[in-house]
A and B are shown apart, each in its own frame.
Chain A
C-alpha cells in the first residue's frame, strides 16, 4: 500500500497549509448546522409532554456530552499514534484537542445541572451519566495539568500520551462502575435523564447539532493545530517562507 499520502500529511509544512485550506470547509457548515439546529430545537420542535420546554436543553447538553467523549477518544488515539510511530503531529493533535474537550465536558455538566434542577428539584444529582462526565472532566484536567508541569516538550508529549492511553482503557471500567453504583441506590426517584421519546421533528435538530458540533470541533482543532505546528517547528526553514506569504 502506498503510504506517501500519509507521510505527506504528517509533514508539518504540508499539513500547515492543508489545515489552513480545510478550516473553512469545517467552519461554515458547522455554523450553518448549529444555527439550523438551534432554530429547529428552540422554535420548531414541539414541547415534550412530560418535560415541557425544559427538554430543549437536550439540544446543547447531549451534543456537548458526546463531544467530550469523542474528543477524549480522539486524543487517546492521536497520542497512541504519536507514541508508537513517533509522529510529532499526532502529539500536537492530542495537545490541541484537550482544552476543547474539557470545555465540552464542563458544558455538559453545567447544562446537565440546569436541566436537572427543574426535573428533580436539586442543582446536582449523582446520576450515573453526570458522575461519569465529572470523572471525565477530571481525566481531562489531569492530562492538561501533566502537560503544563513538564517543560520539555517531547517528554510532555510522551508522558501525556501514556496518561491518555491509561485513561481511555480505564474509561469503560469507570463508566461501568459508576452505572453499577448508581443502580444500587435507585430508590423511588428515577434519575435517568428522561430522554423524551423522539418523534422526527424533535430528533432532526438534535442530529443537526451533533453534526454541527463535530464539524465545529474539526475547525477549532485545525486552527489550534496550526498554532501548535508553528510553536513546535520553531526554527524550521519552511516556517520563514510560509509566514512571509
Chain B
C-alpha cells in the first residue's frame, strides 16, 4: 500500500515528537539553559529592573538563540545512527517535504518550549506585560527560522567529530538578521511602540527560510549520506 506524502509527513512529525518526549532531558536542557543565561545578566550587570528593561530584548533573544542552537545537532544524529535517515532517502517520498516535517517536529520540541517559558523570564527582566505578546511572537518566528536554518548546518555537519561547535559557527551568521529584527521588535514593544515593521520582516525571513531551507537540507543530507 502506497503511503501518501501527507501520511509520510505526519508519520515523521509524530515519530520525532514521540521520540523527543521520551527523552525529557533533551527538551528540558535548552529551557534550563535559556533560564540560566537570562539569570547571568542581572548577576553580571545590575539588579535594577529599570536598567535590565533596556537590554531585555537583546538579552532574551541572544539567550533563546544560544539555547536553540544546543538542540540542533541532535536533529539528524539519531536517524543517521540507526539507519532511519537512509530509509527516508530511499523511501521515494520527496525528501524536502519530509525534511519540513522534521524541522517542524524539531521546533515543537525545542523552540516552542523556549517561547512558552519566555514570558516568565521577560518579567524577571522588567519587561512590561503588554510587551509579552510581541516577545512571544518574535521568539516563535525567530526560533522557527533558527530550526529551519539550523537544519542546514545539522545536515552538513552530520557525523563529523566536533560537529556541534562547527554547527554553531556555520549557523550563527545566518541567524544574525533574525536577531537584529527580533530584538528590535521586543525593544519597541517594551517602549510602547508598535513593532509591526520588524515583526513583518521577521515573518518574511521565517517564510523564506522555511521554504528554501528544506531544499538545502535535502541536498546536504544526500551529500552526508554517501
State whether A162 and B216 are in contact (beta carbons under 8 Å apart), knowing that A135-B176, A155-B224, A177-B181 are contacts in the complex: yes
Give Cα distance in the complex from A154 to B222, angstroms. Answer: 12
Q: Any chain B CB within 8 A of the CB of A146? A: yes
Nearest chain A CB to B27 CB, angstrom units: 28
Known contacts A138-B169, A178-B180; A155 and B226 CB within 8 A of each other:
yes
Chain A: interface secondary structure? helix
B166 CB within 8 Å of chain A: yes
In contact, A146 and B184 (Cβ under 8 angstroms): no
| A145 interface residue per 8 A CB criterion | yes
Interface status of B152 (Cβ within 8 A of chain A): yes
Q: Are A159 and B169 in contact (CB under 8 A)?
A: no
- B81 on the interface (CB 8 Å rule)? no
- Contact assessment for A177 and B180 in the assembled complex, using a CB-CB cutoff below 8 Å: yes
Tell me the nearest residue of chain A to B172, going by C-beta. A138
Residues B220 and A159 in contact, CB atoms below 8 Å apart: yes
- Nearest residue (CB) in A for B168 is A142
Chain B residues, Cβ within 8 Å of A163: 152, 156, 170
Contacts of A166 in B (CB 8 A): 152, 174, 216
- Check A149–B173 contact: CB distance below 8 A: no
Residues from 149 to 185 in B contacting A, C-beta threshold 8 Å = 152, 156-157, 160-163, 166, 169-170, 172-174, 176-177, 180-181, 184
Which interface class (under 10, 10 to 19, 20 to 34, 35 or more) fits A?
Answer: 20 to 34
**Given A162-B152, A162-B223, do A135 and B173 touch, yes or no (CB 8 Å)?**
yes
Residues of B within 8 A of A83 (CB): 219
**Stretch in A16-24, A168-176, A230-238 touching the partner:** A168-176
Q: Are A181 and B169 in contact (CB under 8 A)?
A: no
Interface size class of B (residues with CB under 8 A): 20 to 34
Is the CB–CB distance between A165 and B180 below 8 Å? no
Judge whether A177 and B224 touch: CB under 8 Å.
Answer: no
Is the CB of B72 closer than 8 A to any CB of chain A?
Answer: no
Which residues on A sit within 8 Å (CB–CB) of B224?
A: 155, 159
Point out the residue from B166, B170, B177, B216 that lies within 8 Å of A177, measured CB to CB.
Answer: B177
User: Which B residues lie within 8 Å of A173 (CB)?
Assistant: 177, 205
Asked if A45 is an interface residue, CB under 8 A from chain B, the answer is no
| Contact A150–B181 (Cβ < 8 Å) | no
The docked-state distance in angstroms from the alpha carbon of A49 to that of B61 is: 44
A25 interface hit (Cβ, 8 Å)? no
The answer on a CB contact under 8 Å between B219 and A169 is no
> Does any Cβ of A come within 8 Å of B212's Cβ?
yes
A145 contacts which chain B residues (CB < 8 A)? 166, 169-170
Per-residue CB contact flags for chain B residues 5-48 toward chain A (1 = under 8 Å, else 0) read 00000000000000000000000000000000000000000000
| A139 CB–B CB distance under 8 Å | yes
Check B181 against A149 for contact (C-beta < 8 Å): no
Task: Give a binary string over A137-153; 1 marks a CB under 8 Å from any B CB, 0 the rest.
Answer: 01101100110011000
Shortest CB distance B70–A (Å): 18
Please report A residues at the B interface, Cβ cutoff 8 Å. 83, 135, 138-139, 141-142, 145-146, 149-150, 154-155, 158-159, 162-163, 165-167, 169-170, 173-174, 176-178, 180-181, 184
> Which residues of B are interface residues toward A (Cβ below 8 A)?
152, 156-157, 160-163, 166, 169-170, 172-174, 176-177, 180-181, 184, 205, 212, 216, 219-220, 223-224, 226
Return 8 A-B CB contacts under 8 Å, by A number: A149-B161, A150-B160, A162-B216, A165-B216, A166-B152, A177-B181, A178-B176, A178-B180
Q: What 3 A-B pairs come out closest when comparing CB atoms? A: A177-B177, A158-B223, A138-B173
